[in-house]
Chain A
């Protein structure tokens, strides 16, 4: 039942909690060292992810699955960017930096810009003032959208102030309550993991 890894999680988790309450500099140094180790393990986890991406696309190419030439693009891009970054660094003027501003940056921002159309079309189909709650959602969204552009102020001078009030008062109240709920959920899940009650992260038990 994976007693060893569960024990390791308990020891590491309990140590981190204890170190938080010990202001001694040596305790803080141990804390920093453990966090650095976690950062290193995270970096290796990204290598694992890339190897996994590689094997998925290599298999698609080997088996000539429909659309396999696109997998070649992914593999070349993965290999090329990794090589550029490892060999020549990641500075803004490095080959990878220039590649990033030429390829990644436009692709990422255009992908997100594309969502503007889909959000608008989804909203047009889904937004119906069926009851009080739906009407509140609809009206607030419209006010926010009009109030955040200059034409909103042209229509009614109070729009920008109203949007600020919506963000600062009712939105803040709900977000604050959600943050408290999320915090309580995260703390209880973390405690369940440390105490070995939650073991799903270790995979299936045989």
Chain B
């Protein structure tokens, strides 16, 4: 980054940190700038990576065949129907685009989730145990999986053996939530360290460049 860019980045960093004192115009400026630029960036990336090569170029360059034109116009029409949702008059036609999109991702979700989430997790859980201490850990993972699943099974009351399993399942869940919480805190702290490092090293030159 050039010195001017570093100063702008440092100013924006301080604008966001100013929220630690309280809500103020500097923070609101940074917040609104972030919303606008993030939306614009996403739009520009989608234009360059999706719309330009798959919609604009196929029908504007070379000699497009009728098949190319049809295969380009169908998603283009669906896309325009989606944008037409802006006007309340076109809410009805826009439903076709939404229905198509939702249909595609529902169709992907059925085999995709079955394969990646359910079968893959189950097959990993019932793999033969590793020898030594690995077997203890594998057994604990299997017990944890079964007890947490027992906790999530609400078709029968949590009583007797099912109740005991559900209670052990809650313990496993609490450990997992605690681990996730600790992990998230540390990830945020490392981001904080990197921002402070940017301010002290790249902007103020108070600590040497590594």
Contact = CB atoms under 8 A, between A and B. Distances in A.
Interface of A: 2, 4-6, 8-17, 20-21, 33-53, 55, 67, 70-71, 73-82, 84-86, 89-90, 96, 98-117, 119-120, 123, 132-134, 136-145, 148-149, 163, 165-184, 186-187, 189-191, 193-194, 201-203
- B interface majority secondary structure: helix
A13 B107 contact: yes
Given A2-B95, A106-B198, A174-B148, A17 B107 contact: yes
A41 B83 contact: no
Nearest to B82: A44
B37 interface: yes
Residue from B9, B33, B107 whose CB has the most chain A CB atoms within 10 Å: B107
B195 interface: yes
Contacts of B39: 49-50, 53, 78, 81
A179 B122 CA distance: 10
A78 B43 CA distance: 9
Residues of B in contact with A, size category: 35 or more
Given A70-B28, A73-B36, A82-B40, A203 B95 contact: yes
A175 B117 contact: no
B105 A38 contact: yes
- A interface majority secondary structure: helix
A5 B194 CA distance: 49
Closest 3 pairs between A and B when the two form their complex, measured CB to CB: A85-B44, A173-B144, A16-B107
Contact of A176 (B12, B20, B124): B124
A144 B18 CA distance: 29
Contact of B85 (A48, A100, A116): A48
A155 to B, nearest CB: 15
Interface string B81-95: 011011000010001
